[in-house]
Amino acid sequence: MITATELLDFLTKAQKVSGAGAAFRQVDGGYYITLYCDWYGDNIYSRKTTFIDNKGNSTWDTGDYDFGTMSGVLDDMIERELQKEIKEQKRQELIARLTDEEKELLGVK
């Protein structure tokens, strides 16, 4: 059973990775949560859906992912973005240490 805390954690992660945020649709028996994201880090955005029934359960047969799996994928996406940010920060730090001549020779600004 999905707890309120797990759902809030999921929605917080969804907000971080999905510029469009989450879309919700109530149907008989539960709720669909749809996210529009770059799921695989290839700059191709698509929609993926998970379903939570009225009892707080989620299964593979009613969406692209079950809730737990989609939450794990969101964790991976957040980690991937964090690693990109760290790499860029290190790059900027290295560039800052270069002299103007070195920057010119390397073609960096």
DSSP state of 62: G
Q: Which residues pair with 101 in a beta bridge?
A: none
* pTM for the full predicted model: 0.80
Residue 87 pLDDT level (bands cut at 50, 70, 90): very high
The region, left, alpha or beta by phi > 0 then psi within -120 to 50, assigned to residue 36 is: beta
Tell me, what's the pLDDT at 25?
A: 94
High-pLDDT (> 70) share of the chain, %: 99
Tell me, what's the pLDDT at 52?
A: 94
Round to whole Å and give the CA distance between 7 and 54. Answer: 13
Round to whole Å and give the CA distance between 81 and 77. Answer: 6
pLDDT tens-digit series, residues 23-65: 999 999 999 999 998 888 898 989 999 999 999 999 877 788 9
**Unique residue bearing structure tokens 């790499």:** 87
Tell me, what's the pLDDT at 71?
A: 94
